[in-house]
A and B are shown apart, each in its own frame.
Chain A
């Protein structure tokens, strides 16, 4: 609410009346007309409750609830009047007993191995797959909760055209009318937007689609995005690479806004590896120290043995100071927490050359990633405590900003959004909703009829991963398979099915055999059909293709000249001699990063 509260009036109100009064905010005590209007606008259903509570109404409701609660006792046998056995009992399916299938859970397009426990044909519980080489039996909260998403009644249940229920057949007819024109122009003006793609099958389908429409532009948007990470590797090595730390070979770890323990595609696998390495070190009688510098408290910095808050903008200078130390420079002087931390981390790293590990997180800038790569290179850590591999994510896509730009210029004539919700997730400055208004044909496929669906002409329901065939790569490249644990509820289709239809325009109304598409992707590698089927069955049973992790690449750092512009702006010395001395508390940088709004300009 606006304005300072009228304290004397509030005190008078609280003092008056008999007995204590309970309140949640000063506005609620004041009970002004503005507050009532605000409450009615923001929480329509709660505004009635905020009015004087009615004893009679309350008692009425409670009595009714009590009576209705008793009704459950009157239920019938609940469909238990008959026994309906199978005609042909499937092997291993015993009514009333558990059966687990190996599958994969998705996080921002990356996979973790899971075991889905089903009973009577219904998936009920998700746990980690202990055999999966990347996730090693771990799951994250999203994987655990994904079984609830399957049964979510608010999932998109039907094809919609202009907000009205339609059908796959109608969609197919409409698209087939468009396709000759697309083929004629090579797909000029056609834009495809997806989430991060690690699935080899989806990547192959997109490649097919781009072959069919050479002028089609593919964009990947939303999510935390690994673009900065890959760009950093490109600066350092000349090509995008994924960094996989091997904690068990490390003797000390330095995290510059590193987030390997925090929620993200790597969390499950990396936190398992870190804790295992930490335990192994403890068994040997040493401590696998973790030094963390981060602008905000994270799980990684909370777990760190030595942690310091540092402004995000100063992380690069910090990395440069560590790089100077690694190359034999002088240790930074000063007695502020950051300088002390830098000395400690630098000492640990230089003492453990070839057995140290410096990491940076998803939100770090490309320049910081570049510096971290050079730091690891200078310390001899690259190739020993960390592997550089081909990225699991399919490369070659444009960004969301490119798409927003193209839409604003009016060069996009048809936009196909598969499994993403850019209108909600994209930065507001891109204004994708307005951009979509300039596109003549907009197709959206997603689990939910969300904000993007509201701006699209066609909305297509996507099948939930627990009812789909598919594959997905983990961060280290291990290919996990996704198998359905139940027949699709709502006639949703998987992304490969939709892409196959978009590429061919033939086949059924998008109902191409999802298992066939998956097998077709992997059959290319084998020759003998029987051997392939046996191998595929074994992979399905395990939940992943064995030994499919990406091998370590041999890399060479590019010339430092590539990063010289950063040196000009921020000389290394700046990291250790900040313009203002710290007051000794642990959170000076946090206070500066988020100055309270009422502070004056001169404060910063």
Chain B
């Protein structure tokens, strides 16, 4: 009876074994990488919007305050997306014939709302309140990045749980003086180590155990 396996079968067998082991390790690593990639999280990706609104132009160059449009950011849970009427406060006077602004004029004339692609989404099991963060010294740019530098707006952070917890565990590293909350280019000053705890106390932020309770966000 002839040999069932050729001499090369051993090599093939070893190759198959090693591939299996490599897959066992490699596939989860690959999957984890894909899930965290900007392709999935949308970080840094500016989707097509009904019109190419530029935060860089309006907020950065013209210096319009965040709260001119996002009116409820310091009062309510949601920051608020401006109604078409807010755009028309200026654009009924300037750039009235611009092709780029036609969707805004059409929306206003026909009473059909603009549909913006949503960038920042939290899971539905997460409670988030803008006003409590903004009024307690957490600046816009901490989460949303330097919006004033974005020609087309994109998502700056993936908002994984770790992102929230980093700050909730050590809020003193991130709190700013009230006048710096709207500063999009803020970086922690040299004396943040002494300033931070002082500010946290002024804002009555109870860090550590209290802010990391599950029910703070998952209510």
Q: Which residues of chain A are near B113, meaning CB under 8 Å?
A: 84-87
Q: Give the Cβ gap from B111 to chain A, nearest Cβ, in Å.
A: 5
Q: Give the Cβ gap from A29 to chain B, nearest Cβ, in Å.
A: 47
B117–A82 touching, CB < 8 Å: yes
Return the contact of A87 from the options B77, B78, B111, B121 (Cβ within 8 A): B111
With both beta carbons as reference points, the residue of chain B lying nearest to A75 in the complex is identified as: B124
Q: Give the Cβ gap from B86 to chain A, nearest Cβ, in Å.
A: 8
- The answer to whether A81 has its CB under 8 Å from any CB of chain B is yes
Q: Give the Cβ gap from A526 to chain B, nearest Cβ, in Å.
A: 34
Q: Which residues of chain B are near A583, meaning CB under 8 Å?
A: none
Q: Which residues of chain A are near B78, meaning CB under 8 Å?
A: 94-96
- The answer to whether A77 has its CB under 8 Å from any CB of chain B is yes
Return the contact of A85 from the options B76, B77, B81, B111 (Cβ within 8 A): B81
Q: Give the Cβ gap from B207 to chain A, nearest Cβ, in Å.
A: 27
B95-123 contact mask (Cβ, 8 Å, vs A): 1 or 0: 00000000000011001111111100100
Give residues of chain B (167-215) contacting chain A, Cβ–Cβ below 8 Å.
none
Q: How far is the CA of A84 from the CA of B108 in the complex (A)?
A: 14
Q: Give the Cβ gap from A89 to chain B, nearest Cβ, in Å.
A: 4
Q: Which residues of chain B are near A96, meaning CB under 8 Å?
A: 76-78
- The answer to whether A47 has its CB under 8 Å from any CB of chain B is no
Return the contact of A81 from the options B82, B114, B117, B124 (Cβ within 8 A): B117
Q: Which residues of chain B are near A82, meaning CB under 8 Å?
A: 115-118
A83–B83 touching, CB < 8 Å: no
With both beta carbons as reference points, the residue of chain B lying nearest to A96 in the complex is identified as: B78
Add 17 more A-B contacts to A87-B111, A87-B113 (CB < 8 A): A80-B118, A81-B118, A83-B116, A84-B113, A84-B114, A84-B115, A85-B80, A85-B113, A86-B85, A88-B84, A88-B111, A89-B85, A89-B86, A94-B76, A95-B80, A96-B77, A97-B77
Q: Which residues of chain A are near B116, meaning CB under 8 Å?
A: 82-85
Q: Give the Cβ gap from A124 to chain B, nearest Cβ, in Å.
A: 16
Interface size class of A (residues with CB under 8 A): 10 to 19
B118–A86 touching, CB < 8 Å: no
- The answer to whether B72 has its CB under 8 Å from any CB of chain A is yes
Q: Which residues of chain A are near B72, meaning CB under 8 Å?
A: 94, 97
Q: Which residues of chain B are near A78, meaning CB under 8 Å?
A: 124
With both beta carbons as reference points, the residue of chain A lying nearest to B77 in the complex is identified as: A96
Q: List 10 A-B contacts (CB under 8 A).
A: A82-B116, A82-B118, A84-B113, A85-B82, A85-B83, A88-B84, A89-B83, A89-B86, A95-B80, A96-B78
Give residues of chain A (57-102) contacting chain B, Cβ–Cβ below 8 Å.
77-78, 80-89, 94-97
Q: Which residues of chain B are near A88, meaning CB under 8 Å?
A: 83-85, 111
Q: Which residues of chain A are near B85, meaning CB under 8 Å?
A: 86-89
Q: Give the Cβ gap from A71 to chain B, nearest Cβ, in Å.
A: 15
6 smallest CB-CB distances across A and B, nearest first, come from A86-B83, A85-B81, A89-B83, A83-B116, A87-B84, A96-B78
Scoring A77, A78, A86 by chain B CB atoms within 10 A of each residue's CB, the highest score goes to: A86
A85–B118 touching, CB < 8 Å: no
Q: Which residues of chain A are near B80, meaning CB under 8 Å?
A: 85, 94-95
Q: Which residues of chain B are near A80, meaning CB under 8 Å?
A: 118, 121, 124
